[in-house]
């Protein structure tokens, strides 16, 4: 088996279904790649949907389910161990891959196998872009061509040799069920092993984003990300990580506190009021609110992991 595409998912049945359809239609021999779906305890019927899809695809689809949420690190580590491919590609369950996606990832390994390959993840919204993904759109191709940003290892769209992932120790399961940094932390360890990052802008995916996001879930993700940032820094206490983890948000939060905004304006109740009134202040106050949530996560992480900045 040349390659395994690993997808960790939780309660994303509908978008995962489209993600799988795109992967089934790859311009690559179906007997030389497999899809590994690791369900981290979904309750929305993901298991039934995946099993139904399995019978419609000639490629090998492995389904693995835990009965309770174990976290992204454990889920993806299960995917690594279940994979038969020499190369493992990670994408998110809300990502849509064009037909040439697998071929473009594998093309990069011909000259040097000891690399990390990543490609752009371009955000799209709207039901039409889900039904008919605009893979050939000139705008999408242009955005992919000019994608120069991004961390070394982001599981929305990245690949590496399976043996190197195992040699590096796979994903650090201490990150638990929280959100964020576990992929960058693994990427840092891979770089320390001597692997080189290579970007292939043709190996892009469309990251489908639901237009209306729940503010409560957004706030939780920011707090989780802040807490995990402290753990990331504890494991790699270097200036680069400190800057990457945005510890300066603690300073911003102090200013917001002094202004009295955190209690008066930076609450879900007040933001809901602004949203319903279609106030032009909503985007700005929402941004400050999420900064505050991230800072709260940082504070929680400092206390939890006994870290001094």
Report helix, strand or coil for 3: strand
State residue 189's pLDDT score. Answer: 96
Do 161 and 190 contact (CB within 8 A), yes or no? no
Task: Give pLDDT, residue 153.
Answer: 86
The overall average pLDDT reported for the chain is 90
User: Whose CA is closest to 240, among 293, 184, 284?
Assistant: 184
CA 114 to chain centre: 22
Query: Has residue 65 got a pLDDT over 60?
Result: no
Which ranges of the chain does DSSP label H, i.e. alpha helix? 13-24, 46-54, 72-82, 101-107, 127-131, 138-145, 162-168, 182-192, 215-235, 239-244, 249-258, 261-264, 268-276, 282-305
- pLDDT for 210 equals 76
Q: What's the whole-model pTM score?
A: 0.91
CA angle 264, 211, 217 (to 5 degrees): 50
The confidence band for 111, taking pLDDT boundaries of 50, 70 and 90, is confident
- 64: confidence class by pLDDT, cuts 50, 70, 90: low
How many whole angstroms separate alpha carbon 307 and alpha carbon 309? 6
Q: What is the pLDDT of residue 149?
A: 73
Q: Sort strands 157-161 and 115-118 into parallel, antiparallel or unpaired.
A: antiparallel
Write out the two tokens for 51. 């099993």
Q: Tokens representing 140?
A: 């999408």
pLDDT of residue 62: 65
Q: Which residue has the tokens 């690949």?
A: 159
User: Which of 50-64, 211-225, 234-248 has the weakest average pLDDT?
Assistant: 50-64
CATH 3.40.50.720 assigned to 3-208: no
Chain segment 69-101, per-residue pLDDT in tens: 677 888 899 999 989 999 999 999 999 999 999
In this prediction, residue 134 carries a pLDDT of 93
Give the tens place of pLDDT for each residue, 169-190.
Answer: 999 999 877 778 999 999 999 9
**pLDDT band (50, 70, 90) for residue 262:** very high
Domain boundaries defined on the chain: 3-208, 215-305
Show the tokens assigned to 66: 């835990």
pLDDT (mean) for 287-300: 96
User: Tokens standing for 62?
Assistant: 């492995």
- Residue 255's pLDDT is 96
pLDDT in tens, 121-180: 999 998 888 889 999 999 999 999 988 777 778 899 999 999 999 999 999 999 877 778
- pLDDT tens per residue across span 26-51: 999 988 999 999 888 888 888 888 88
């Amino acid at each position: 088996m040349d390659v395994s595409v690993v997808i960790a998912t939780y309660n994303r049945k509908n978008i995962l279904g489209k993600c799988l359809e795109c992967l089934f239609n790859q311009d690559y021999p179906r007997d030389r790649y497999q899809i590994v779906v690791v369900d981290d305890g979904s309750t929305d019927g993901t298991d039934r949907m995946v099993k139904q899809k399995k019978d419609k695809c000639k490629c090998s689809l492995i389904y693995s389910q835990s009965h309770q949420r174990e976290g992204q690190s454990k889920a993806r580590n299960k995917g690594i161990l279940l994979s038969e491919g020499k190369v493992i590609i990670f994408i998110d369950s809300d990502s849509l891959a064009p037909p040439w996606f697998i071929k473009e990832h594998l093309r990069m390994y011909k000259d040097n196998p000891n690399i990390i390959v990543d490609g752009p993840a371009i955000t799209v919204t709207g039901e039409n872009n889900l039904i008919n993904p605009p893979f050939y759109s000139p705008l999408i191709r242009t955005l992919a061509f000019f994608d120069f940003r991004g961390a070394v290892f982001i599981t929305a769209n990245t690949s590496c040799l399976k043996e190197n992932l195992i040699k590096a120790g796979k994903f650090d399961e201490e990150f638990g069920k929280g959100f964020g940094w576990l992929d960058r932390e693994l990427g840092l360890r891979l770089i320390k092993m001597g692997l080189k990052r290579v970007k292939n802008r043709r190996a892009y995916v469309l990251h489908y984003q639901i237009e209306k996001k729940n503010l409560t879930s957004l706030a939780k993700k920011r707090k989780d990300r802040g807490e995990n940032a402290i753990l990331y820094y504890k494991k790699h206490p270097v200036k680069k990580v400190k800057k990457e983890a945005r510890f300066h948000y603690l300073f911003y939060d102090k200013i917001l506190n002094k202004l009295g905004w955190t209690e008066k304006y930076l609450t879900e109740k007040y933001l809901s009021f602004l949203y319903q009134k279609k106030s032009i202040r909503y985007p700005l106050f929402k941004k400050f609110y999420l900064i505050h949530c991230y800072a709260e996560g940082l504070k929680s992480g400092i206390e939890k992991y006994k870290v001094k900045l």
